[in-house]
Structure 1
Amino acid sequence: MPSVRHQLLATVIPRVRRSRELEDEQVERARVEAWHRTLAPGLPTRAVPRFARRWDVTTEDLGFPAYVLTPRTRPVTRTLYYIHGGAFMAPIDPLHVRYATRLADAIGARVVMPDYPLAPEHTWADCHDALVADAGRWAEQDGGVVLAGDSAGGGLALAIAISMRERGLTPATHLVMHAPWVDLTTSTPETREVDAIDPWLFFGKLQAYAAWWAGSPDDLGRPEVSPALADLSGLPPGIVLYGTRDLLHPGCRLLVRRAAEAGWDLTAVEEPALIHVYGILPFAPEARRAFGQVVAFVEGRSVG
Structure 2
Amino acid sequence: MNNPADRLVDLLDLEQIEVNIFRGRSPQESLQRVFGGQVAGQALVAAGRTTEGDRPVHSLHAYFLRPGRPGVPIVYQVERVRDGRSFTTRRVTAIQQGRTIFNLTASFHQPEQGAFEHQLPPRIEAPAPESLPTVVEEIKEHLGALPEQLERMARRQPFDIRYVDRLRWTAEEIKDAEPRSAVWMRAVGPLGDDPLVHTCALTYASDMTLLDAVRIPVEPLWGPRGFDMASLDHAMWFHRPFRADEWFLYDQESPIATGGRGLARGRIYDIEGRLLVSVVQEGLFRPHTPRPMDTPTPDA
TM-score by length of 2: 0.26
TM-score by length of 1: 0.26
Larger of the two Rg values belongs to structure: 2
